[in-house]
Structure 1
Amino acid sequence: MGSTSAFVIRWINFFTMILALLVVGFGFWMSTHDDECRRTLTVPVIALGGVIFLISLVGFLGAWKNISCLLWTYLIMLFVVLVAIMVFTVLAFIITNSGSGHTVPGARYKEYRLQDYSSWFVKQLDDTEKWARLKSCLVKTDDCNSLSRRYKTAREYKLADLTPMESGCCRPPAEYCAWMPISTFSFH
């Protein structure tokens, strides 16, 4: 292997190892919080940092000592990670593909309904324990709580460009509110 390419591989992997250590440190920091939403993500974040560190270490050592076996292992590990990312992306697309939202007459935002998503996704949210945990995390975010501060009137709200989270989780479906005149909506 040429000295220039070994030098580049060494330094890229050295900086990636530092980044991985920061990710692992962030995972441990998340585990110290009382918030269960953050603690739920602790293991995946630490695992992600560990995998990145391991791959970078193998690439760094292979380029530093010019060990072709380690460099091949490094390439195979990178290939597996890239394939895993592609599989995850395709599965996420399949699960959420049909949930593209429905237009609401007189509003700029789209409405998202749970039954529009894949049956697997609906089954996951239908589990009472999983939904209670997810709902408690949604309540703690400022996504829904800030709507009343941002939009003072029903007209402002209907003309707002809401995110899928805001239009799908923070408000009742439009069909439940259609019978109410706009002047009765209050966001204070």
Structure 2
Amino acid sequence: MRTSNHLIGAVNFLTFLLSIPILAEGIWLSSRANTTDCMRFLQWPLIVIGAALMVVSLAGFAGACYRNTFLMYLYMWAMFFILVALIGFVVFAFAVTDKGSGRPVLNRAYSEYYLGDFSGWLERRVSDESYWVKISSCIRDSKVCGKMGREINGIPETADMFYSRKLSPIQSGCCKPPTDCGFTYVNETIWITGGGLVGGDPDCTRWSNDQELVCYACDSCKAGVLASIKHSWRKVSVINIVVLILLIIFYVVAYAALRNNKRMDNDEPYGETRMTKAQPSWIHL
């Protein structure tokens, strides 16, 4: 029994360590500038799961150290629901980020983003006008477009230099007009408009050289936000899958050790009963 308790304690300690990256992922998502920082509901499931896992593992560790059966059973049941929640989160994250990615552009190092390439719950959430007002305001306050400017030896970059840059989805979708509009480059966020719709893209009329507006009202900006969220969520989900596999292994080990404890507890009274029944013969001798 002592060996089983030590094993359960070790498993709970490892579970506590695994709760740290989950909690760190939620904090990382909340600190992501211009993307998930503007979608504050995204990180809360991870933060809640990570914090719950940390508390439950400590309870299980205490139960193993002090041989408290209630705490160990509480740990097993709570861990079961945490595993279900984590599996649900991973499945949900992959499901809502299933579609949509950037399109390559001829003679450009960056990609273009189109809202029509995305669909599902996340796309509807971002595209909702009442919610988009908050997201676009958050992006504007982050000054992401104002930070795009570059100088080389005190000289602003040329159009060719800009076209060879790798832009983030937010920078490409929100800070410049779509390439199809055919606007002439002045600097990173100022373009000479052609006065017409090239390719019939409505974003061409939504673009503004006003630095408080640029393309924050564009569908390409919404698509850029979606692409950025997809990238962050997929990165987090890969880590979660690894953590989930380890947690399941630890859970099975802890369950086996707890069953072994229970079996030994059930065997102990049986041994005492046999000794009690044998006592009269010893006395007789």
Aligned to 1:180: 183
RMSD: 3.6
Partner of 2:81 in structure 1?
80
Distance change in 2, residues 1:125/1:46 (3 Å): closer
Which residue matches 1:170? 175
* 1:7 Cα deviation from its structure 2 partner: 4.5
Which structure is higher in helix share? 1
Matched, 1:157 2:159: no
The offset of 1:160, in angstroms, is: 1.4
Q: Which secondary structure does the structure 2 equivalent of 1:171 belong to?
A: coil
What residue ranges of structure 2 are gaps of 5+ in the alignment? 32-36, 190-285
Q: How does 1:1-188 map to 2 (within 5 A)?
A: 1=1, 2=3, 4-9=6-11, 11-12=13-14, 44=44, 47=48, 50-149=51-150, 152-176=157-181, 179-181=182-184, 184-187=185-188
Q: Partners in 1 of 2:162 and 2:80 — Cα distance?
A: 47
Instruction: Name which one, 1 or 2, has greater alpha-carbon Rg.
Output: 2
Q: Check the 8 A contact 1:115/1:122 in 2, yes or no.
A: no
Deviations 1:142-188 (A, max 9, x none): 53332123782222221112222322333322212xx234xx43238
**Residue-by-residue CA offset, 1:107-138 (whole Å, 9 max, x unaligned):** 12222222211232232123222111111221
Equivalent AA in structure 1 for residue 142 of structure 2: T
TM-score by length of 1: 0.67
Cα distance in 1 for residues equivalent to 2:176 and 2:84: 38
**What's the offset of the Cα at 1:87?**
2.4
* Distance change in 2, residues 1:49/1:90 (3 Å): closer
Kept in 2: contact 1:62–1:69 (CA 8 A): yes
Q: Any conservation in 2 of the 1:103–1:109 contact (CA below 8 Å)?
A: yes
Count residues with an aligned counterpart.
169
**Is the alpha carbon distance of 1:73 and 1:168 closer, same or farther for their aligned partners in structure 2, counting shifts above 3 Å?**
farther
Residues 154, 186 of structure 1: 8 Å contact kept: yes
